Structure 1
């Protein structure tokens, strides 16, 4: 019988509780008109999954399968039989069509997985609307494909839509700082920036991660653990363009005060997360330089389509840190969560659920 991975409710306060993982036997879902039945091949973790287990995320469900990232093959398609056998990416959110400013109706927007509205990819089979998938780029393995959706969409919006004002044509040669390299969003933003021709600089607390980022095309990098790292970064910028055009940040904290002297007048600080805490400083110096501070979360269905097309065109391969096999391999999946809690990963943490082309499994 098909399985699904959820969290189990136990007593505890938000931030102190840690909901255990639970495997469940479930009926095989049946698609209706304009829906697809997808056999999931791989799913990937995001920080929101860790926050869900810590009761630090809104709208938690204890019955909805986890994980917003997933890829699989279409096994049933009542309205579109030509899609049967196609490998697809599942859109990681619902309720945001195309408006560049944000979801058209914020009350209808939700990320999939572990939420009260939409089940995630942590199951053997999932039914989704046929307009909520994109064909997986052929050059990606299933592990890489599962590593793309949420972080790719978040990075695309934070870097291109917000950080570079949606102007890919003039991106080449611009200086971009991406903080906290090693996480999935930061790495996707690095790869997108390099493909656009930007000079991408990164921060990390790990010298090994800085070197790995340079191997992926980063122009330079500094350790944010070192006092005065912003001065070290300034020394690395090209003499012909000794400033940052944009900062893409997922930490918050003191990022404004640290980079305000580096960002050009009218430049952008694009913030997609605040792992340092729910508040950050905004200085008068930033006001005087007319710097734009822009919040950026996930992205629209149109941005997801454009991001996948960009990945396909530029043959970008998402970075996978580690893979474990088996949806019911709770101990191994817990170890992926441990990697995330301890910041050990460089890239995405992936669960292999099935193999593409496994017809015997597809007909269960």
Structure 2
């Protein structure tokens, strides 16, 4: 079979689509025939190399995929051959204090498929059975293969961590990205007033189509100033910030007193300047969030499967052209998800 892989960290030139050995599931694993797999910024960071993540090379990236079960391990009873499934990438140990308390994404040995362990950007992929979610017959492969990571991340951020209510107002940064456009839809579904930032008129239009009530071009205006003007100097109740970097202080400045900033990443830098005086004086909460519990995954994906939420697909790319897909993410082209499909599926 063929798989995307890289032998070392670097630019697009390290990405290959080569022959590899066919996978063989272990006792608790399932092998799927991959029909569609999505790219995430996590794949870009993994390829470039991240501090503290020491990968065995060559490495196959990819945290999102969906396909048909072709083989199951001897201990697996949840799935059988020909089942339609999607991958949920978080892998927990199952027995540490956090796992036993029902919080596997806080597991002390937590790993993400495609980041800490081999990924699913391949013709066939083997993953733990616990990391699979059933996919209904009427759900398109492109949808099934591009939903799990971003929608579970955004759902936990807003519903579980920020405890979003229908009366809350929400600002979503980077609404054109995977987590951003999922967060806009979830915030709109819960019922709050939704503000969103993006970098072009086209992207702002898509954000509005996803449910944003107000859109701000952050390349033209300071979004914190705009939020203050739009809210009568009050600010918003929740900010979804997966950017950090230089914008972090503006995110804090966008919050109302008692507001919550929830973050799942730091694409613009992980050590931003923080105005501590603003945090304690305005009694703000800064909340971290990573992935989701299996129950949260089931909850949000049921709303994807029934059409309440929709991953916006900017382009479908042959898996052999994965390097071009990486470039699209890095160049911030378009709105929504880039989907890879094995060349044999096109």
Pair in the same fold by TM > 0.5: yes
> Quick one: distance in 2 between partners of 1:95 and 1:19?
33
Q: Which residue of 2 aligns with 1:111?
A: 112
1:311 lines up with 2:304 in the alignment: yes
Q: Which residue of 2 aligns with 1:353?
A: 342
2:291 to 281, 298, 313: 298
Structure-2 residue corresponding to 1:196:
190
Name whichever of 194-203 and 22-31 sits farther off: 22-31
In 2: Cα distance, 1:82 partner to 1:153 partner: 22
The alignment's C-alpha RMSD in Å is 2.7
Task: Tell me the alpha carbon deviations over residues 133-163 of structure 1, each in whole angstroms, 9 at most, x when there is no partner.
Answer: 1112445311111111211221112222222
Matching of residue 70 in structure 1 with residue 33 in structure 2: no
Cα deviation, residue 232, structure 1: 2.4
Give the structure 2 partner of residue 270 of structure 1. 262
Query: What is the alpha-carbon distance in structure 2 between the residues aligned to residue 156 and residue 44 of structure 1?
Result: 18
Query: Could you tell me which residue of structure 2 aligns to residue 128 of structure 1?
Result: 127
- Normalised by the length of structure 1, the TM-score is 0.83
- Compute the displacement of 1:113 (Å): 1.4
1:89 offset after TM fit, Å? 0.9
Residue among 203, 207, 226 paired with 2:201: 207
SS in structure 1 at match of 2:61? coil
Structure 1 pair 148–96 and aligned structure 2 pair: CA distance change class (3 A): farther
- Cα deviation digits, residues 288-323 of structure 1 (max 9, x gap): 111001122222333323322333355322111111
CA deviation vs aligned residue, 1:90-111 (integer Å, no higher than 9, x gap): 12121166557674542x2111
Q: Which moved more, 1:173-182 or 1:50-59?
A: 50-59
CA distances 1:17-67 after superposition (whole Å, capped 9, x unpaired): 555112332332233444322111111111121122222352233233210
Change (3 A) 1:264 1:150: same
Q: Which residue of 1 aligns with 2:77?
A: 80
Q: Which runs of 5+ in 1 are unaligned?
A: 11-15, 359-364
| Number of residue pairs aligned between Structure 1 and Structure 2 | 337
Q: TM-score scaled by structure 2?
A: 0.87
